[in-house]
Amino acid sequence: MKLQTKLIILLVCLLGVIGLGCLVYGQHRKIVDLESSLSVAVNNNKAYAEENAALNGKIIEFQVTADQLEYSKDSLMQKLNSARKSLNIKNKQLRDLQYLASITHKADTVVVRDTIFRPGVALDTSLVDD
């Protein structure tokens, strides 16, 4: 009877240690996931701060998950998601998406207001002395 009691106590202690080990491992995984989510949130917060400060010429990077990209109401996110869908890129293959916006302006007409050649003005503009 004494051996059986010791065996039961040992088994209960062993199961307790295994249970605590599983609990610690599960909490560790949860902490790692929360740290990852926190870094994304901090990065996005900085990007929003940069965007609100209207700093031109800066690169702003937002980090979102595939689910957030799918359900976002932001027009740029919707354009990126539609491009992803048109190219048949799966979420697990997706690493990053970029949107490049540039504005170019080329003027090919020069407008000069000339005060010499006006109707009613008689002025000799030749370069030769007569």
- How far apart (Å, rounded) are the C-alpha atoms in residues 112 and 115? 9
Domain ranges of the chain: 1-53, 62-90
> What is the chain's pLDDT, residue by residue, as a tens digit (130 residues)?
688 899 999 999 999 999 999 999 999 999 999 998 898 888 888 777 777 666 556 666 677 777 777 777 777 778 877 888 888 888 777 776 666 666 666 766 666 666 666 677 666 666 666 5
- How far apart (Å, rounded) are the C-alpha atoms in residues 75 and 115? 50
Phi, psi of 105 (to 5 degrees): -140, 125
Supply the pLDDT for residue 15.
95
- Which residue, among 119, 88, 83, has the nearest Cα to 98 in the 3D structure? 83
- Which residue, among 76, 66, 59, has the nearest Cα to 40 in the 3D structure? 66
